[in-house]
Structure 1
Amino acid sequence: MTTPSAELALARFPEDSRDQLRAWDASDEYLLKHLAESGRALDGTVVVIGDRWGALTTALRAHRPVQISDSFLAREATRANLTRNGAGPDSVRLLTTQDPPPDRIDVLLVHVPKSLALLEDQLLRLAPGVHEETVVIGTGMVKEIHTSTLKLFERILGPTRTSLAEKKARLIFCTPNPGLARAANPWPHSYTLPDGIGPVSGRTVVNHAGVFCAERLDVGTRFFLRHLPYGRGAERVVDLGCGNGVVGTAAALAHPAAEVLFVDESYQAVASAEATYRANTDDSGSEFGKAEFRVGDGMDGVPDESIDLVFNNPPFHSHQATTDATAWRMFTGALRTLRPGGELWVVGNRHLGYHVKLRRLFGNSELVASDAKFVVLKAVKK
């Protein structure tokens, strides 16, 4: 990426030489160009949120910014990109969306996230640290910035306006009003699950902001829950890409002695999964087995051939790009960690053709259930 001050070598994480997707977009370039041309001094505490692959944090490393991210992959990309460009790991401060934000914020740079709920949650969490002299600038592609986005900035921080578009990107300028009356943060949000979906029927699910389908159960997961193998004994089970944890919680309720690992690359998702599990079980006694909640890249860190059952509803988008790279990493990770005879259960849209990938990896793929939109597949490690 070319910036006003330097040429940066940037890559996504995990790095893949076959991946042609860039680790930045035109909105990152627009923001950095504006900061350079405005001559604005970035003094005090600089906070960067929504930095998808660390491009902004790396470019501004001389100002020792605080990056706040919901994504494990974004944090790892930031670490790798800092190193790639000659900066040490202590040149910035990396926080997650679950960590307490800085008490005082002098510059707030926001790469607008896809989730309006996550933006709302983060602005409400950061607002107490913003003062009337804080520089607040948002950035995003034109298709990502809507009237509702601007209204959020105005409602939570103060008067807001936008720039002209440049290379299909736009900037947001907000003038903080510390005296603005704000409603309480509505996140996390809870709702009751419907009937007819197995052990979690009528149970409570908890969603932190930005987690997929935070308002109601999505139809794919509902279909998956109706076809899971509930008649199993004690096992080691993984809810891979757990989201709000409803699938792993269903497994725990069906098999009280099972050890269940909830894993996702989103800090918000893993916090939701733990809250959902705690709301529906009491693992302080002997009734339930052990539950573990891990933020990470798929099955990384899970020992080889240590798992009996993996449940997976893989995403097929990486921000705005459609890709099967994440699903492929999840499937290969499951193959490595499953014991012989262990099973991977997958739900996905029919058109994604996951059965082809599973046959290539496992040598087999069984159609367990299907409807007009979704399929549930099972692959067995031989």
Structure 2
Amino acid sequence: MKPVLTLLDRTLKLARYPQRTNETLQAWDAADEYLINHTHDMVLDPQRPILIFNDSFGALSCWLAEKGQVTSISDSYVAQQGCSQNLAANELPQVTQLDCLADLPANPQLVLIKLPKNNRLLTWQLQQLCHLVPEDCVIIGAGKAKEIHTSTLKLCEKHLGETKTSLAVKKARLVFIKPDSSLVKPMPSPKTWDVPEHGFTLSNHANVFSGESLDIGGRFLLDHIPQDPNLKHIIDLGCGNGVISLKAAKLNPQAKVTSVDESYMAVASCGENAKLNLDNPEQIHAIVNNCLDGLEAESADMVLCNPPFHQQNAVTDHIAWQMFCDAQQVLRPNGQLIVIGNRQLGYDEKMKRIFGNVQKIAQNNKFIIYKSGK
């Protein structure tokens, strides 16, 4: 896959993060190119902020880094690392990077939004902007034409202002939003619901996976988490709202639980749920990270994992590979990796290649839970 974006007589070296040998996926898309072409001739005030939402790996941040006070807002730790990496590779100044729960700079002149698939996150970001942007602010969303639905446009109209769309170019489309301050309303609270069979109340920020109900894979895994007094350190890899961490902590009160996710909103939710549900919330330590980067080798007794099979909008299995390889490094001798996945994903083959062994713990008509020992 070509690592160079050449557009408007300018060239940028752009890579996905983490970088892989023989990468098959590109670090930008047609929506990025459409936004760049559309905004190229805009006259910008160097003293007023430019806000970029959901910049996948920093293509937009790199393009605009020298044109003003750029702030990139993303819920993804991996996207932020990719942005920093690409800015450095092109010898560009670093931009300000914020997570989606942070306060935003006042009086922006230009807002670019890579429209997220998650409507709860889109609603959150639109309402943030409605509180913030002045009437002269230019707001442009972008995404794949097939993913910009009538419902997407209605959300923009409802929460931010009058909305119009462009023609499609290379299967991408722009969305133009005129801010309307009369639409300002209080920011939405985290979604809260109960899991009565396990005694949990779960709070979920806008971009948490399965943030409106317990996903069926997680529900199945909850019934198969080991209880063992010899467990001292458990890792919940890809923790989401932390429900697996909570169950592991309650079953094993002697163990420290490290909950890891690349979503800032997931990690914030996990920390809040520890306070809601545990007598000792400090038993859970929730961190943002790219898989298990930087964690001490041979420091954990068990890793619990429900791997995602997509990165940004791309379907891929490399995250599962990285999770399993990282788990093998972090587990102590005789430690265990326990993984749940859809039956067709074939995680058992990967686990056997990395660990040399794999065992089926449980299955239903949709999911299989596997275990590998180090």
The C-alpha deviation readout for 1:309-358, integer Å capped at 9, x for no partner, is: 11000001123322110000000000000000110000000111100011
Contact 1:236-1:308 at 8 Å conserved across structures: yes
Contact 1:28-1:56 at 8 Å conserved across structures: yes
Contact 2:166-2:175 at 8 Å conserved across structures: yes
Residue 15 of structure 1 aligns with which residue? 19
How do 1:122-161 residues align onto structure 2 when only pairs under 5 Å count?
A: 122-161=125-164
The C-alpha deviation readout for 1:204-246, integer Å capped at 9, x for no partner, is: 0111111111111111111111111124444201010000100
- Residue 269 of structure 1 aligns with an amino acid whose one-letter code is A
The runs of at least 4 consecutive aligned structure 1 residues that moved more than 6 Å come to none
The Cα of 1:68 is off from its aligned counterpart by: 0.4
List runs of 5+ in structure 2 lacking aligned partners.
none
Contact 2:65-2:93 at 8 Å conserved across structures: no
The Cα of 1:185 is off from its aligned counterpart by: 2.5
**C-alpha distance in structure 2 between counterparts of 1:301 and 1:106, whole Å:** 38
Task: Identify the match of residue 297 of structure 1 among 290, 299, 304.
Answer: 290
Contact 1:155-1:182 at 8 Å conserved across structures: no
The Cα of 1:194 is off from its aligned counterpart by: 4.2
- Residue 147 of structure 1 aligns with an amino acid whose one-letter code is T
List runs of 5+ in structure 1 lacking aligned partners.
196-200
The 3-state SS of whatever aligns with 1:159 is strand
The Cα of 1:260 is off from its aligned counterpart by: 0.6
Contact 2:338-2:372 at 8 Å conserved across structures: yes
Residue 331 of structure 2 aligns with which residue? 338
1:168 aligns with 2:164: no
The 3-state SS of whatever aligns with 1:8 is strand
The Cα of 1:170 is off from its aligned counterpart by: 0.2
Contact 1:244-1:276 at 8 Å conserved across structures: yes
How do 1:253-264 residues align onto structure 2 when only pairs under 5 Å count?
A: 253-264=250-261
The 3-state SS of whatever aligns with 1:346 is strand
The C-alpha deviation readout for 1:112-169, integer Å capped at 9, x for no partner, is: 0121111111221232220110111111111221112111221122101000111100
Residue 115 of structure 2 aligns with which residue? 112
Residue 28 of structure 1 aligns with which residue? 32
**C-alpha distance in structure 1 between counterparts of 2:162 and 2:9, whole Å:** 31
The C-alpha deviation readout for 1:254-310, integer Å capped at 9, x for no partner, is: 1112101011011011011111111101326xxxx6321110111111100000011
How do 1:255-294 residues align onto structure 2 when only pairs under 5 Å count?
A: 255-283=252-280, 290-294=283-287
**C-alpha distance in structure 2 between counterparts of 1:146 and 1:342, whole Å:** 47
The C-alpha deviation readout for 1:155-208, integer Å capped at 9, x for no partner, is: 122101000111100000111112x2344332311100142xxxxx13101111
Residue 81 of structure 1 aligns with which residue? 86
**C-alpha distance in structure 1 between counterparts of 2:177 and 2:66, whole Å:** 24
Aligned length: 367
Residue 198 of structure 1 aligns with which residue? none
The 3-state SS of whatever aligns with 2:240 is coil
- Residue 162 of structure 2 aligns with an amino acid whose one-letter code is P
Residue 54 of structure 1 aligns with which residue? 58
Residue 242 of structure 1 aligns with which residue? 239
Residue 208 of structure 1 aligns with which residue? 205
- Residue 75 of structure 2 aligns with an amino acid whose one-letter code is D
Contact 2:238-2:261 at 8 Å conserved across structures: yes
Contact 2:231-2:301 at 8 Å conserved across structures: no
CA RMSD of aligned residues (A): 1.3
**C-alpha distance in structure 1 between counterparts of 2:180 and 2:83, whole Å:** 31
The Cα of 1:25 is off from its aligned counterpart by: 0.4
**In structure 2, do the counterparts of structure 1 residues 5 and 188 end up closer, same or farther at CA, with 3 Å as the change threshold?**
farther
The TM-score normalised by the length of structure 1 is 0.93
The 3-state SS of whatever aligns with 2:214 is coil
Contact 2:130-2:184 at 8 Å conserved across structures: no
**C-alpha distance in structure 2 between counterparts of 1:123 and 1:181, whole Å:** 10
Residue 251 of structure 1 aligns with which residue? 248
- Residue 359 of structure 1 aligns with an amino acid whose one-letter code is K
1:313 aligns with 2:306: yes
The Cα of 1:7 is off from its aligned counterpart by: 1.1
